[in-house]
Structure 1
Amino acid sequence: MRDVTLVQIFDHPITQKYVKRSGMAHAIACAYHAFKLSLEHNVNPDMAAKAALLHDIGHYTWYRNGKWDYSLYKENDIHAIKGAERAHKLLIRLGEHPKSAKEIALAVLLHTDSYLPHGELHLKPLQKVVHLADEADEEPSGGHHYRVIDDKKARTMLAKLDQQIDDELNKLTLDELNSPS
Protein backbone atom coordinates (compact mmCIF):
# COMPACT_ATOMS: atom_id res chain seq x y z
CA MET A 1 0.00 0.00 0.00
CA ARG A 2 1.36 3.38 -0.98
CA ASP A 3 1.31 6.30 1.44
CA VAL A 4 0.55 8.95 -1.21
CA THR A 5 -0.87 8.64 -4.73
CA LEU A 6 -0.11 10.69 -7.82
CA VAL A 7 -3.69 12.01 -7.78
CA GLN A 8 -3.20 13.26 -4.21
CA ILE A 9 -0.03 15.03 -5.32
CA PHE A 10 -1.83 16.49 -8.35
CA ASP A 11 -4.72 17.78 -6.23
CA HIS A 12 -2.48 19.66 -3.79
CA PRO A 13 -2.42 23.48 -4.30
CA ILE A 14 1.40 23.53 -4.28
CA THR A 15 1.48 21.12 -7.23
CA GLN A 16 -1.21 23.09 -9.01
CA LYS A 17 0.78 26.30 -8.62
CA TYR A 18 4.32 25.19 -9.35
CA VAL A 19 4.03 22.16 -11.63
CA LYS A 20 1.39 23.84 -13.79
CA ARG A 21 3.63 26.81 -14.46
CA SER A 22 6.48 24.55 -15.58
CA GLY A 23 4.22 22.27 -17.64
CA MET A 24 1.77 19.74 -16.24
CA ALA A 25 1.59 17.87 -19.57
CA HIS A 26 5.38 17.45 -19.49
CA ALA A 27 5.32 16.33 -15.85
CA ILE A 28 2.67 13.68 -16.54
CA ALA A 29 4.48 12.44 -19.65
CA CYS A 30 7.66 12.14 -17.60
CA ALA A 31 5.81 10.20 -14.88
CA TYR A 32 4.68 7.69 -17.53
CA HIS A 33 8.20 7.44 -18.97
CA ALA A 34 9.61 6.96 -15.47
CA PHE A 35 7.12 4.19 -14.73
CA LYS A 36 8.18 2.28 -17.85
CA LEU A 37 11.88 2.92 -17.23
CA SER A 38 11.58 1.86 -13.59
CA LEU A 39 10.51 -1.61 -14.71
CA GLU A 40 13.53 -1.86 -17.02
CA HIS A 41 15.97 -0.62 -14.36
CA ASN A 42 14.53 -2.49 -11.35
CA VAL A 43 13.52 0.74 -9.59
CA ASN A 44 10.48 1.31 -7.38
CA PRO A 45 7.83 2.50 -9.89
CA ASP A 46 5.95 4.54 -7.28
CA MET A 47 9.01 6.58 -6.33
CA ALA A 48 10.07 6.97 -9.97
CA ALA A 49 6.67 8.27 -11.09
CA LYS A 50 6.43 10.67 -8.14
CA ALA A 51 9.91 12.08 -8.71
CA ALA A 52 9.25 12.48 -12.44
CA LEU A 53 5.90 14.17 -11.81
CA LEU A 54 7.59 16.64 -9.45
CA HIS A 55 10.95 17.05 -11.21
CA ASP A 56 10.23 20.62 -12.42
CA ILE A 57 8.35 21.85 -9.34
CA GLY A 58 11.21 24.25 -8.61
CA HIS A 59 11.09 26.18 -11.86
CA TYR A 60 11.22 29.92 -11.69
CA THR A 61 9.30 31.75 -14.38
CA TRP A 62 12.07 32.67 -16.79
CA TYR A 63 9.95 34.79 -19.06
CA ARG A 64 10.78 37.86 -21.08
CA ASN A 65 8.03 39.83 -22.81
CA GLY A 66 5.49 37.17 -21.82
CA LYS A 67 7.36 34.30 -23.50
CA TRP A 68 9.54 31.59 -22.00
CA ASP A 69 13.16 32.70 -22.40
CA TYR A 70 15.25 29.56 -22.78
CA SER A 71 18.55 31.49 -22.74
CA LEU A 72 17.71 33.13 -19.39
CA TYR A 73 16.77 29.72 -18.04
CA LYS A 74 19.97 28.02 -19.24
CA GLU A 75 22.13 30.82 -17.87
CA ASN A 76 20.55 31.33 -14.44
CA ASP A 77 18.34 28.44 -13.44
CA ILE A 78 18.75 26.27 -10.34
CA HIS A 79 15.25 24.79 -10.42
CA ALA A 80 16.39 21.34 -9.34
CA ILE A 81 17.66 22.71 -6.03
CA LYS A 82 14.46 24.60 -5.24
CA GLY A 83 12.42 21.69 -6.61
CA ALA A 84 14.02 19.14 -4.30
CA GLU A 85 13.07 21.29 -1.33
CA ARG A 86 9.49 21.84 -2.53
CA ALA A 87 8.99 18.19 -3.45
CA HIS A 88 10.26 16.99 -0.07
CA LYS A 89 8.09 19.41 1.89
CA LEU A 90 5.01 18.57 -0.19
CA LEU A 91 5.49 14.81 0.14
CA ILE A 92 6.01 15.01 3.90
CA ARG A 93 2.86 17.15 4.26
CA LEU A 94 0.88 14.60 2.27
CA GLY A 95 2.10 11.73 4.47
CA GLU A 96 4.83 10.13 2.38
CA HIS A 97 7.29 8.00 4.35
CA PRO A 98 10.25 10.27 5.22
CA LYS A 99 12.84 7.92 3.66
CA SER A 100 10.87 7.77 0.40
CA ALA A 101 10.34 11.54 0.43
CA LYS A 102 14.10 12.03 0.78
CA GLU A 103 14.94 9.65 -2.09
CA ILE A 104 12.33 11.27 -4.32
CA ALA A 105 13.67 14.74 -3.46
CA LEU A 106 17.22 13.63 -4.29
CA ALA A 107 16.01 12.33 -7.65
CA VAL A 108 14.39 15.73 -8.29
CA LEU A 109 17.67 17.41 -7.29
CA LEU A 110 19.74 15.29 -9.65
CA HIS A 111 17.39 14.99 -12.64
CA THR A 112 19.56 17.56 -14.44
CA ASP A 113 23.18 18.58 -14.21
CA SER A 114 22.62 21.96 -15.86
CA TYR A 115 23.41 23.88 -12.67
CA LEU A 116 26.46 21.82 -11.65
CA PRO A 117 30.08 22.51 -12.54
CA HIS A 118 31.25 20.40 -15.46
CA GLY A 119 32.23 16.93 -14.46
CA GLU A 120 30.88 13.45 -14.23
CA LEU A 121 27.92 12.79 -12.00
CA HIS A 122 27.24 9.21 -10.88
CA LEU A 123 23.52 8.70 -10.43
CA LYS A 124 21.74 6.05 -8.39
CA PRO A 125 19.20 3.98 -10.38
CA LEU A 126 16.16 6.06 -9.29
CA GLN A 127 17.97 9.29 -10.14
CA LYS A 128 18.99 7.91 -13.54
CA VAL A 129 15.41 6.84 -14.34
CA VAL A 130 14.08 10.33 -13.60
CA HIS A 131 16.86 11.92 -15.66
CA LEU A 132 16.09 9.61 -18.60
CA ALA A 133 12.34 10.21 -18.28
CA ASP A 134 12.90 13.97 -18.46
CA GLU A 135 15.17 13.61 -21.48
CA ALA A 136 12.62 11.37 -23.21
CA ASP A 137 10.04 14.16 -23.20
CA GLU A 138 12.23 17.21 -23.84
CA GLU A 139 11.70 19.44 -26.87
CA PRO A 140 14.10 21.99 -28.37
CA SER A 141 14.33 25.37 -26.61
CA GLY A 142 12.12 24.24 -23.74
CA GLY A 143 9.06 23.59 -25.90
CA HIS A 144 7.92 20.82 -23.56
CA HIS A 145 7.11 23.49 -20.96
CA TYR A 146 4.47 24.98 -23.29
CA ARG A 147 2.31 21.91 -23.82
CA VAL A 148 -1.01 22.10 -22.01
CA ILE A 149 -3.45 19.59 -20.61
CA ASP A 150 -6.81 20.24 -18.97
CA ASP A 151 -7.22 19.27 -15.31
CA LYS A 152 -9.82 16.56 -15.95
CA LYS A 153 -7.63 14.73 -18.46
CA ALA A 154 -4.55 15.18 -16.26
CA ARG A 155 -6.31 13.74 -13.24
CA THR A 156 -7.68 10.81 -15.29
CA MET A 157 -4.22 10.01 -16.67
CA LEU A 158 -2.67 10.12 -13.20
CA ALA A 159 -5.42 7.90 -11.77
CA LYS A 160 -4.69 5.39 -14.54
CA LEU A 161 -0.96 5.53 -13.76
CA ASP A 162 -1.73 5.11 -10.04
CA GLN A 163 -3.58 1.91 -10.93
CA GLN A 164 -0.69 0.66 -13.07
CA ILE A 165 1.72 1.33 -10.21
CA ASP A 166 -0.55 -0.46 -7.73
CA ASP A 167 -0.83 -3.43 -10.09
CA GLU A 168 2.93 -3.59 -10.52
CA LEU A 169 3.62 -3.30 -6.79
CA ASN A 170 1.02 -6.00 -6.06
CA LYS A 171 2.61 -8.22 -8.70
CA LEU A 172 6.05 -7.69 -7.17
CA THR A 173 4.69 -8.50 -3.71
CA LEU A 174 3.04 -11.70 -5.01
CA ASP A 175 6.22 -12.69 -6.84
CA GLU A 176 8.21 -12.17 -3.63
CA LEU A 177 5.72 -14.26 -1.67
CA ASN A 178 5.77 -17.06 -4.24
CA SER A 179 9.53 -17.17 -4.77
CA PRO A 180 11.45 -19.95 -3.00
CA SER A 181 13.51 -18.75 -0.05
Structure 2
Amino acid sequence: MRNVTLTDIFQHPSAQKYLNRSGLVHAIATAYHAFSLAKDFGVDPDLATKAALLHDIGHYTWYTNGQWDYSLYKENDIHAIKGAERAHKLLIQLGEDPRKAKEIALAILLHTDSYLPKGQLDLLPLQRVVALADEADEEPGGMHHYRSLDIKTALSRIKKLDRLVDAQYETENLKHSV
Protein backbone atom coordinates (compact mmCIF):
# COMPACT_ATOMS: atom_id res chain seq x y z
CA MET A 1 0.00 0.00 0.00
CA ARG A 2 1.32 3.41 -0.98
CA ASN A 3 0.84 6.39 1.34
CA VAL A 4 1.45 8.89 -1.44
CA THR A 5 0.88 8.46 -5.17
CA LEU A 6 2.61 10.15 -8.07
CA THR A 7 -0.69 11.93 -8.70
CA ASP A 8 -0.66 13.29 -5.14
CA ILE A 9 2.84 14.61 -5.71
CA PHE A 10 2.07 16.03 -9.13
CA GLN A 11 -1.00 17.91 -7.92
CA HIS A 12 0.81 19.62 -5.02
CA PRO A 13 1.44 23.35 -5.78
CA SER A 14 5.16 23.25 -4.99
CA ALA A 15 5.65 20.18 -7.18
CA GLN A 16 3.81 21.97 -9.99
CA LYS A 17 6.12 24.97 -9.65
CA TYR A 18 9.37 23.03 -9.60
CA LEU A 19 8.42 20.34 -12.12
CA ASN A 20 7.46 23.02 -14.63
CA ARG A 21 10.70 24.91 -13.96
CA SER A 22 12.91 21.85 -14.44
CA GLY A 23 11.02 20.27 -17.33
CA LEU A 24 7.78 18.39 -16.87
CA VAL A 25 8.22 16.16 -19.93
CA HIS A 26 11.70 15.16 -18.76
CA ALA A 27 10.45 14.42 -15.23
CA ILE A 28 7.64 12.17 -16.49
CA ALA A 29 9.85 10.42 -19.07
CA THR A 30 12.49 9.79 -16.40
CA ALA A 31 9.84 8.33 -14.08
CA TYR A 32 8.74 5.92 -16.84
CA HIS A 33 12.37 4.91 -17.48
CA ALA A 34 12.81 4.33 -13.73
CA PHE A 35 9.72 2.13 -13.64
CA SER A 36 11.18 -0.02 -16.43
CA LEU A 37 14.61 -0.22 -14.78
CA ALA A 38 13.29 -0.93 -11.27
CA LYS A 39 12.53 -4.59 -11.94
CA ASP A 40 15.98 -5.24 -13.45
CA PHE A 41 17.66 -3.78 -10.36
CA GLY A 42 15.29 -5.29 -7.78
CA VAL A 43 14.11 -1.83 -6.73
CA ASP A 44 10.69 -0.83 -5.39
CA PRO A 45 8.93 0.79 -8.39
CA ASP A 46 7.12 3.23 -6.11
CA LEU A 47 10.39 4.63 -4.76
CA ALA A 48 12.01 4.61 -8.20
CA THR A 49 9.20 6.49 -9.94
CA LYS A 50 8.86 9.07 -7.16
CA ALA A 51 12.59 9.77 -7.06
CA ALA A 52 12.76 9.96 -10.84
CA LEU A 53 9.75 12.27 -11.11
CA LEU A 54 11.27 14.63 -8.54
CA HIS A 55 14.95 14.26 -9.45
CA ASP A 56 15.36 17.74 -10.96
CA ILE A 57 13.12 19.86 -8.73
CA GLY A 58 16.17 21.62 -7.36
CA HIS A 59 17.05 23.28 -10.65
CA TYR A 60 17.86 26.93 -10.73
CA THR A 61 17.93 28.66 -14.09
CA TRP A 62 21.27 30.23 -15.00
CA TYR A 63 21.05 33.15 -17.40
CA THR A 64 23.54 35.58 -18.94
CA ASN A 65 22.12 38.67 -20.65
CA GLY A 66 18.65 37.11 -20.61
CA GLN A 67 19.77 33.90 -22.32
CA TRP A 68 20.04 30.41 -20.83
CA ASP A 69 23.73 29.79 -20.12
CA TYR A 70 24.38 26.06 -20.10
CA SER A 71 28.09 26.44 -19.31
CA LEU A 72 27.30 28.69 -16.31
CA TYR A 73 24.78 26.10 -15.14
CA LYS A 74 27.31 23.24 -15.47
CA GLU A 75 29.94 25.25 -13.62
CA ASN A 76 27.72 26.28 -10.67
CA ASP A 77 25.04 23.61 -10.45
CA ILE A 78 23.98 22.07 -7.13
CA HIS A 79 20.41 21.16 -8.14
CA ALA A 80 20.64 17.65 -6.72
CA ILE A 81 21.31 19.04 -3.24
CA LYS A 82 18.43 21.51 -3.37
CA GLY A 83 16.17 18.93 -5.04
CA ALA A 84 16.78 16.31 -2.35
CA GLU A 85 15.80 18.84 0.29
CA ARG A 86 12.67 19.98 -1.58
CA ALA A 87 11.57 16.43 -2.34
CA HIS A 88 12.01 15.29 1.26
CA LYS A 89 9.99 18.22 2.58
CA LEU A 90 7.23 17.69 0.00
CA LEU A 91 6.99 13.95 0.62
CA ILE A 92 6.81 14.39 4.40
CA GLN A 93 4.11 17.07 3.99
CA LEU A 94 2.10 14.66 1.82
CA GLY A 95 2.35 11.87 4.43
CA GLU A 96 5.04 9.66 2.92
CA ASP A 97 6.70 7.17 5.26
CA PRO A 98 9.77 9.02 6.58
CA ARG A 99 12.16 6.16 5.75
CA LYS A 100 10.90 6.09 2.16
CA ALA A 101 11.11 9.88 1.92
CA LYS A 102 14.75 9.68 3.01
CA GLU A 103 15.58 6.95 0.47
CA ILE A 104 13.95 8.98 -2.30
CA ALA A 105 15.78 12.14 -1.24
CA LEU A 106 19.13 10.31 -1.22
CA ALA A 107 18.46 8.94 -4.71
CA ILE A 108 17.76 12.50 -5.88
CA LEU A 109 20.92 13.76 -4.17
CA LEU A 110 23.04 11.15 -5.96
CA HIS A 111 21.36 11.05 -9.38
CA THR A 112 24.19 13.13 -10.80
CA ASP A 113 27.79 13.70 -9.86
CA SER A 114 28.04 17.02 -11.70
CA TYR A 115 28.47 18.95 -8.45
CA LEU A 116 30.87 16.54 -6.76
CA PRO A 117 34.67 16.44 -6.94
CA LYS A 118 35.86 13.91 -9.50
CA GLY A 119 35.70 10.35 -8.28
CA GLN A 120 33.63 7.22 -8.39
CA LEU A 121 30.46 6.84 -6.34
CA ASP A 122 29.28 3.44 -5.19
CA LEU A 123 25.53 3.86 -5.73
CA LEU A 124 22.83 1.74 -4.16
CA PRO A 125 20.37 0.13 -6.62
CA LEU A 126 17.66 2.83 -6.24
CA GLN A 127 20.24 5.57 -6.72
CA ARG A 128 21.62 3.83 -9.82
CA VAL A 129 18.11 3.40 -11.29
CA VAL A 130 17.38 7.13 -10.95
CA ALA A 131 20.75 8.10 -12.44
CA LEU A 132 20.30 5.72 -15.39
CA ALA A 133 16.69 6.83 -15.94
CA ASP A 134 17.83 10.45 -16.03
CA GLU A 135 20.62 9.65 -18.51
CA ALA A 136 18.17 7.75 -20.72
CA ASP A 137 16.19 10.94 -21.37
CA GLU A 138 19.02 13.50 -21.61
CA GLU A 139 19.62 15.64 -24.68
CA PRO A 140 22.73 17.68 -25.54
CA GLY A 141 22.95 21.13 -23.99
CA GLY A 142 20.23 20.38 -21.45
CA MET A 143 17.48 20.63 -24.06
CA HIS A 144 15.53 17.80 -22.39
CA HIS A 145 14.43 20.40 -19.84
CA TYR A 146 12.62 22.47 -22.46
CA ARG A 147 10.15 20.04 -24.04
CA SER A 148 6.61 21.06 -23.21
CA LEU A 149 3.38 19.28 -22.44
CA ASP A 150 -0.07 20.50 -21.45
CA ILE A 151 -1.13 19.86 -17.86
CA LYS A 152 -4.04 17.58 -18.80
CA THR A 153 -1.81 15.23 -20.81
CA ALA A 154 0.84 15.33 -18.08
CA LEU A 155 -1.72 14.35 -15.43
CA SER A 156 -3.00 11.53 -17.66
CA ARG A 157 0.55 10.14 -18.02
CA ILE A 158 1.15 10.40 -14.26
CA LYS A 159 -2.10 8.56 -13.51
CA LYS A 160 -1.18 5.84 -15.99
CA LEU A 161 2.18 5.39 -14.27
CA ASP A 162 0.41 5.19 -10.89
CA ARG A 163 -1.72 2.36 -12.29
CA LEU A 164 1.40 0.56 -13.54
CA VAL A 165 3.05 0.83 -10.10
CA ASP A 166 -0.14 -0.38 -8.40
CA ALA A 167 -0.37 -3.31 -10.83
CA GLN A 168 3.25 -4.22 -10.10
CA TYR A 169 2.48 -4.26 -6.37
CA GLU A 170 -0.58 -6.45 -6.95
CA THR A 171 1.49 -8.88 -9.03
CA GLU A 172 4.15 -9.07 -6.28
CA ASN A 173 1.49 -9.61 -3.59
CA LEU A 174 -0.08 -12.44 -5.61
CA LYS A 175 3.33 -14.12 -5.95
CA HIS A 176 3.92 -13.93 -2.21
CA SER A 177 0.46 -15.20 -1.26
CA VAL A 178 0.70 -18.37 -3.36
TM-score band, normalised by the shorter chain? over 0.9
SS in 2 for 1:50: helix
The structural deviation recorded for 1:159 is 0.2
The structural deviation recorded for 1:40 is 1.2
Structure 1 runs (4+) deviating above 6 angstroms are none
Alignment match, 1:135: 135
Q: Give the partner amino acid of 1:29.
A: A
Moved more, 136-145 or 62-71: 62-71
Query: C-alpha deviations, 1:54-107, integer Å up to 9, x for none?
Result: 000000111234432110110001000000000000000001000000000000
Alignment match, 1:173: 173
Task: Give the distance between the partners of 1:21 and 1:154, measured in 2 at CA.
Answer: 14
Moved more, 113-122 or 58-67: 58-67
The structural deviation recorded for 1:5 is 0.6
Equivalences for residues 90-129 of structure 1 within 5 A = 90-129=90-129
Q: Give the partner amino acid of 1:174.
A: L
Equivalences for residues 143-154 of structure 1 within 5 A = 143-154=143-154
Task: Give the distance between the partners of 1:169 and 1:39, measured in 2 at CA.
Answer: 11
Alignment match, 1:67: 67
Task: Give the distance between the partners of 1:63 and 1:87, measured in 2 at CA.
Answer: 24
TM-score by length of 2: 0.98
SS in 2 for 1:74: helix
Q: Which runs of 5+ in 2 are unaligned?
A: none
User: 2:54 aligned with 1:54, yes or no?
Assistant: yes
Query: C-alpha deviations, 1:104-136, integer Å up to 9, x for none?
Result: 000000000000010110000000000000000
SS in 1 for 2:131: helix
Q: Give the partner amino acid of 2:167.
A: D
Q: Which runs of 5+ in 1 are unaligned?
A: none
Task: Give the distance between the partners of 1:75 and 1:155, measured in 2 at CA.
Answer: 34
SS in 2 for 1:175: helix
Q: Give the partner amino acid of 1:117.
A: P
Task: Give the distance between the partners of 2:152 and 2:54, measured in 1 at CA.
Answer: 19
User: 2:80 aligned with 1:80, yes or no?
Assistant: yes
| RMSD of aligned alpha carbons | 0.8
Task: Give the distance between the partners of 1:43 and 1:16, measured in 2 at CA.
Answer: 26
